[in-house]
Structure 1
Amino acid sequence: MRFLRSSACLLLFFSLSVTAQNRQEKLKKLLDKMEGVAQVSYNTERIIINRANGQDLNYTAAAYFDFTSTDTLIGAKYRFVNQEHGDQVFNGKIEFMAANEQSLVIYDNTPDARRVSSSIFFNPSFYSIRKLVPRLMADAEVKITQEQDILLHGKKYPQISMVLIDKYIDMGIKVSPVSEPNQIKFKYTLLIEPDSNLPHFFGNIRNDGQDIDGAFFSDYDLNPTFDPKYWQMDYMPKDFMRLSGKEYSQRMRNKMKSKVGAMATPWELQDLEGNTVVFPNPKAPLTLLEFWFPYCQGCVLAIPVLNAIQKDYANRGLTVFGIEMTDKPNEMLKKYEAEKGVEVKTLVQGKEVSKAYGVQAAPTYFLIDSDGKILFTSIGMREKELRASIEANLQ
Structure 2
Amino acid sequence: MKWNRRTVATGLILLTGIWLLAGCREKPTDILWQTEDRLNRMQSVGYKTTIHTFQREMGTDKLDSALCYFDFTSSDSILGARYRFMTSNGEQVFNGHQFFQSSPFDKTVIYSNHHVAFDVNSSTYLINSVYVLRKLLPQMMDAPDIKITWQNDRTIRKQECWGVSIDMKNKWIDPNANHQLRPAPGKTYHYMLAISKRMGLPVQFRWNYPDNKGYWESTFRYLGIDQGMETSAWSYGRFPKSYLRMSKQEYFASLKNRAQVKSGQVAPQWRLPELKGSFVSLKEIKGKLVLLEFWFPYCQGDDEATAFLNKLHKLDGHNDLAIYGIEMTGREASNLKTYVEKQKRLYPTLYQGRNVATEYGVDVAPVFFLIDGTGKVVYVSTGLNKAALANAIKTTLERR
TM over 0.5: yes
1:169–1:176 contact (8 Å) kept in structure 2: yes
| Secondary structure, counterpart of 1:305 in structure 2 | helix
Q: Deviations over 1:282-341 (max 9, x none)?
A: 733322111112343522222232133234447354322110122333134222333222
Describe how 1:245-256 pairs up with structure 2 within 5 A: 245-253=248-256
Letter in 2 for 1:32: D
Q: Please give the TM-score of this superposition, normalised by the length of structure 1.
A: 0.84
Q: Which residue of 1 aligns with 2:181?
A: 175
> Partners of 1:99 and 1:81 in 2: how far apart?
11
| Secondary structure, counterpart of 2:237 in structure 1 | helix
2:74 alignment partner, one of 63, 69, 73: 69
1:39–1:222 contact (8 Å) kept in structure 2: yes
| Secondary structure, counterpart of 2:138 in structure 1 | helix
> Partners of 2:104 and 2:82 in 1: how far apart?
22
Question: Mind listing any 5+ residue stretches in structure 2 that lack a counterpart?
Answer: 1-22
Alignment of 1:26 with 2:31, yes or no, is: yes
CA separation of 1:293/1:110 partners in 2, compared to 1, >3 Å: closer, same or farther? closer
Q: Which residue of 2 aligns with 1:118?
A: 122
> Partners of 2:165 and 2:224 in 1: how far apart?
26
1:130 alignment partner, one of 117, 128, 134: 134
Alignment of 1:303 with 2:282, yes or no, is: no
2:216 alignment partner, one of 178, 189, 213: 213
Q: Which residue of 2 aligns with 1:391?
A: 394
Q: Give, in angstroms, the shift of residue 371 of structure 1.
A: 4.5
Describe how 1:228-307 pairs up with structure 2 within 5 A: 228-253=231-256, 259-281=262-284, 283-307=286-310
Q: What number of residue pairs does the alignment pair up?
A: 373
| Secondary structure, counterpart of 1:87 in structure 2 | strand
| Secondary structure, counterpart of 1:392 in structure 2 | helix
Letter in 2 for 1:55: T
1:257–1:377 contact (8 Å) kept in structure 2: no
Letter in 1 for 2:50: E
Alignment of 1:148 with 2:166, yes or no, is: no
Describe how 1:174-193 pairs up with structure 2 within 5 A: 174-178=180-184, 181-182=185-186, 184-193=187-196
CA separation of 1:64/1:147 partners in 2, compared to 1, >3 Å: closer, same or farther? same
> Partners of 2:300 and 2:327 in 1: how far apart?
14
Q: Pick which of 115-124 and 205-214 moved more.
A: 205-214
Alignment of 1:166 with 2:180, yes or no, is: no
Q: Give, in angstroms, the shift of residue 200 of structure 1.
A: 1.3
Alignment of 1:79 with 2:103, yes or no, is: no
CA separation of 1:208/1:344 partners in 2, compared to 1, >3 Å: closer, same or farther? closer
Letter in 2 for 1:44: T
Q: Which residue of 1 aligns with 2:200?
A: 197
| Secondary structure, counterpart of 1:121 in structure 2 | helix
Q: Deviations over 1:190-230 (max 9, x none)?
A: 11123322211113125797611231111432222321111
Q: Which residue of 2 aligns with 1:89?
A: 93
Q: Please give the TM-score of this superposition, normalised by the length of structure 2.
A: 0.83
Q: Give, in angstroms, the shift of residue 376 of structure 1.
A: 0.6
Q: Pick which of 113-122 and 135-144 moved more.
A: 113-122
Letter in 1 for 2:376: K
> Partners of 1:66 and 1:304 in 2: how far apart?
40
2:190–2:210 contact (8 Å) kept in structure 1: no
Q: Give, in angstroms, the shift of residue 361 of structure 1.
A: 2.7
| Secondary structure, counterpart of 2:145 in structure 1 | coil
> Partners of 2:120 and 2:131 in 1: how far apart?
12
> Partners of 1:90 and 1:79 in 2: how far apart?
7
- Higher fraction of helix: 2
Question: Mind listing any 5+ residue stretches in structure 1 that lack a counterpart?
Answer: 1-18
> Partners of 1:168 and 1:160 in 2: how far apart?
17
Q: Which residue of 2 aligns with 1:59?
A: 64
Q: Give, in angstroms, the shift of residue 100 of structure 1.
A: 4.7
1:46–1:120 contact (8 Å) kept in structure 2: no
1:62–1:81 contact (8 Å) kept in structure 2: yes
Structure (1 or 2) with the larger CA radius of gyration? 2
| Secondary structure, counterpart of 1:263 in structure 2 | coil
Letter in 1 for 2:195: I
1:203–1:215 contact (8 Å) kept in structure 2: yes
CA separation of 1:258/1:122 partners in 2, compared to 1, >3 Å: closer, same or farther? same
